[in-house]
Structure 1
Amino acid sequence: MMSKSIRTTLAIILAAGSAASGARAAQVDADRPLIISKQGSFFVGGHDVQSDALSTIPNFASSGTISVDQVYVRYQTPVRPARYSITLIHGCCLSGKSWETTPDGRMGWDEYFLRQNFTVYVIDQAWRGRSAANPAAVNAVKAGKAGADTLPAFISAGHESAWTIFRFGPEYPKVFPGMQFPLEAQGEFWKQMVPDWGYSMKPPVPTVPALSELAQKVGNTVLISHSQSGIYPFQTAMISSKGIAAIISLEPGACPAADYDMSALKNIPVLVLFGDFVDKSEAWTNRFKGCQEFVRSAKAAGVTAELVSLPDVGFHGNSHMIMQDRNSLAVAGWLGEWLSHHVRQPSSRQ
């Protein structure tokens, strides 16, 4: 029987090997010209509504029809695309910018995966970024047509509260030792933050059925979600598994509850990924435990599911904003390796 010391040494060797493998896979020449076959954008989801509270400005009609709940999608396709694509889904108080150039000017995951020959789809959640919000509820109150208690709930995350939520440090402005987020460029990061209307929406939020439409439209795509959107791919699979090649949930705000129908994940490999310093936050510790329970239940039900803590595979110092940390491309390379071992055949699920 292997001794504890040998097991510990072996774990360290394997972790170091995982990080080294990710670093090798992440090696790309950022100065090499980026050649793509096509790019574009479109919308999924959405519906029309009529309202008499579209405006409180005399020069604009207050009555009319608008389209709401749609989700903006931007895509780029390489010359020789891989057999499955990548869909990147941002989290709370942010937009698709999360996946673009990092705050300190490095390559983001959308370009990285494109250079790895994946077609990449980047969305703005409904009512966020380029996905328009519905002003009717606010205008109705301003015009005296509805009470103040009918106003929708929305938030903006302040620098101070986001600091701890994103695990830059235990409290603002203290920093965790070895933390990988580029705080020298935090001013650029804070400019990414946008008002979040999600708290005024009843689940499933409009982004979820839109993601199902997107997966079925493009076919065979890996849904990579983050934080607030971490649970969205699982909710999407409940609508239909068609077009979902795999699910990677980065530090989800919540994993599915115990009564989740695991049959929705049949033949869909699942990875739940957490960064560092999770044990320094009670909220994130509880979320981690909840995801552990979900993964155990999923595996017991025959789902190919895995929960990975980045320090356990050799990546240290990662904040909640894994895709923007200094080692972000090495982590992306590790994810690419994981996908190469788990996504084997084009999806034909209905």
Structure 2
Amino acid sequence: MKGKLAAAMRNLGLCVALAGLTACASGPMDVSGTTPGPLSIASEGSFFIGGHDVHSDTLSTVPNYATSGTVTVGQVYVSYQVPTHARPLSLTLIHGCCLTGKTWETTPDGRMGWDEYFVRHGFPTYVIDQADRGRSATDIETINAVKEGKAPVTALPALFAASHEAAWAIFRFGPQYPQRFPGEQFPLDSQSGLWQQMVPDWIASLPTPNPTVPALSQLAAKLRNTVLISHSQAGIYPFQAAALSPNGIAAIVALEPAECPSATGDLTPYTKIPILVLFGDYIDQSPRWAPRLNACRAFADAAVRAGGHVQLVLLPDVGIHGNTHMMMQDRNSLDVANWVLHWIDTHVTAAAS
């Protein structure tokens, strides 16, 4: 019996070490095709941050469930892993449009995600679900009010979902579905694993600033020394959080942000925080992303003139080619991760030491 149990534990890839919790899952293969060693973590867990309580009289249209009461909305779910022998600097990963924190986990074709990779490199790593997305609760009050005739149909929240065909061009797998850019790196043979990750997006129905922004500000203050790594729709959030308060924000890494701060606005909040704005390949072939790159370049230039430490980089310019908008899931995702970690080591860790 003991032998069978031991074999089962090996098959599950789980073990517990006396010095701490060690996840021994063989997990995804790395880019070299070899199995990574055991993942040693000192602690892992989850919590919520932000949000506020509201009273509602339209909590339910289902019989036997109370219609009135108090609920919490606008909160943000955070999961984390802290490795053994952790560095003093943590990383916080913030997903973009129509997605959740799954963005950073195991890739669609089963390779190691950035969340695990960063932990393996000694960084406590925090992964969020934006407010009203994933495990962060959605406010249904208005929907029920319309259903009960207490509000007009025009009051319904504005929601959208990205189709496979639309996302194909947005994510720059090719100029249009199902064409592919030559040399693009996304594992399209496993594209169903990406489509399964996608969820309806509530951002157009949320207040300004997005509740994720003050939650990130609170999270940074709680962690005290974290790099906010954002993607796409969420690219602007770390900048907005820094404008609320720079406390705890060690640096900003914005991966293909849909929006950068205005080049003509107040740049003061961005002059004391190291900032990297990173874009992938095929930008000049995308009518959606080329203008965004130009706007971010204008911001970076203006911030540098104002005394900031801002670097805008295109991956092809540093020898990394074929990256789509989903660079953290591309086949060369760990090459990109290594480049980001090198930037952090040279611009953040070194500056803090």
TM-score, normalised with respect to structure 1: 0.90
Q: What residue is the counterpart of 1:18 in the other structure?
A: none
SS in 2 for 1:322: coil
d(CA) in 2 for partners of 1:115 and 1:30? Answer: 13
d(CA) in 2 for partners of 1:74 and 1:319? Answer: 26
Contact 2:271 2:303 in 1 (8 A): no
Written as runs of structure 1 = structure 2, the 5 A alignment for 1:337-348 is 337-344=342-349
Which amino acid in structure 1 is aligned with residue 246 of structure 2? S
2:213 is the alignment partner of 1:208: yes
Contact 2:89 2:349 in 1 (8 A): no
d(CA) in 1 for partners of 2:237 and 2:73? Answer: 19
Contact 1:88 1:223 in 2 (8 A): yes
d(CA) in 2 for partners of 1:235 and 1:337? Answer: 25
Q: Which moved more, 1:261-270 or 1:216-225?
A: 261-270
d(CA) in 1 for partners of 2:208 and 2:310? Answer: 24
Q: What residue is the counterpart of 1:176 in the other structure?
A: 181
Indicate the RMSD between aligned Cα atoms, in angstroms: 1.5
Q: What residue is the counterpart of 2:26 in the other structure?
A: none
Q: Which has the higher contact order (CA 8 A, sep 6+)?
A: 1
Aligned residue among 180, 191, 196 for 2:196: 191
2:77 is the alignment partner of 1:72: yes
Shift in CA distance, 276/289, structure 1 to aligned 2, threshold 3 Å: same
Contact 1:220 1:346 in 2 (8 A): no
Alpha-carbon displacement from aligned partner over 1:325-344 (angstroms, at most 9, x marks no partner): 00000110011111111113
Q: What residue is the counterpart of 2:59 in the other structure?
A: 54
Aligned residue among 147, 169, 174 for 2:152: 147
TM-score, normalised with respect to structure 2: 0.89
Alpha-carbon displacement from aligned partner over 1:181-229 (angstroms, at most 9, x marks no partner): 0000001110000011011123210000000000000111000000000
2:148 is the alignment partner of 1:138: no
SS in 2 for 1:107: coil
Which amino acid in structure 2 is aligned with residue 330 of structure 1? D
SS in 2 for 1:290: helix
Which amino acid in structure 2 is aligned with residue 195 of structure 1? P
Identity %: 59
Aligned residue among 311, 315, 321 for 1:310: 315
Misfit runs of 4+, over 4 Å: 26-30, 345-348
Q: CA deviation at 1:265?
A: 1.9
Structure 2: runs of 5 or more not aligned: 1-30
Q: What residue is the counterpart of 1:327 in the other structure?
A: 332
How many residues are treated as equivalent by the alignment?
323
Contact 1:83 1:346 in 2 (8 A): no
Structure 1: runs of 5 or more not aligned: 1-25
Contact 2:271 2:306 in 1 (8 A): no
Which amino acid in structure 2 is aligned with residue 119 of structure 1? P
d(CA) in 1 for partners of 2:273 and 2:352? Answer: 9
Q: What residue is the counterpart of 1:245 in the other structure?
A: 250
Q: CA deviation at 1:263?
A: 1.6
d(CA) in 1 for partners of 2:35 and 2:120? Answer: 9
Q: CA deviation at 1:347?
A: 6.9
Q: Which moved more, 1:197-206 or 1:228-237?
A: 197-206
Alpha-carbon displacement from aligned partner over 1:290-315 (angstroms, at most 9, x marks no partner): 00000000000000001000000001
d(CA) in 1 for partners of 2:55 and 2:207? Answer: 20
SS in 1 for 2:39: coil
